[in-house]
Copies of this chain bind each other. A is one copy, B any other.
Amino acid sequence: MAQARPMRADARRNYERLLQVAAEAFAEHGENASLERIARRAGVGAGTLYRHFPTRHALLEAAYVDRIEALGRRADELAQRLPPGEALTEWLHELCVATIQLRGMKALLGAAVADGGAAAATACGTAVQGAAGRLVAAARAQGAVRADLEPIELLRLAHGVATASELANRRGEEIRRYLTLLTEGLRP
């Protein structure tokens, strides 16, 4: 998405500053961090925040889109280094860690795999659904996962595993265990 016209210098400065402060605020307080405080800490008026980011979700997405896209690239790195089944498992683990680590990330990743329509169009939705699609296709071709497994449902289940791990503690210590239970199933 190339910027048609470059932003005015002061606007650009405010924009960057808002993103930086927002990333911290969302990481610490979650998706409901106070927007008014973000504006204040960034040294801009409330109106400036709303001009750059018309909705809370727009700010949240802008604040974390880099990390999400890095996760997308990470999928391909893992696909090169590891057999398809292991690459998938390892990527899911990193996805879950990211989900828990920054408090605001959970809402963002949730929205990125919600519902179907609108989510897939966002940058985060594209990155994460694309990555999962490639990893699942490769794993399926090798017979490492069941043939009827859809990438989108796997992403939702991974979000569920992250949620479950978060209920145990915020440190993510249970992620491996819960991911193993999901992969292997509950039967003996």
- How many residues of A are counted as interface, with CB atoms below 8 angstroms from the partner's CB atoms? 36
Measured in the bound complex, the distance between the Cα atoms of B146 and A159 in whole Å is 23
Instruction: Report B-chain residues with C-beta under 8 Å of the C-beta of A188.
Output: 143-147
Interface of A is mostly: helix
Pick from B165, B177, B187: contact of A146, CB under 8 Å: B187
Please indicate which of the listed interface residues A145, A147, A149, A168 has the most CB atoms of chain B within 10 Å of its own CB: A168
Query: Which chain A residues numbered 111 to 142 have a C-beta less than 8 Å away from chain B?
Result: 113-116
Q: How far in angstroms is the closest Cβ of chain B from A133?
A: 16
| A residues lining the B interface (CB < 8 Å) | 110, 113-116, 143-147, 149, 153-154, 156-157, 159-165, 167-169, 174, 177-178, 181-188
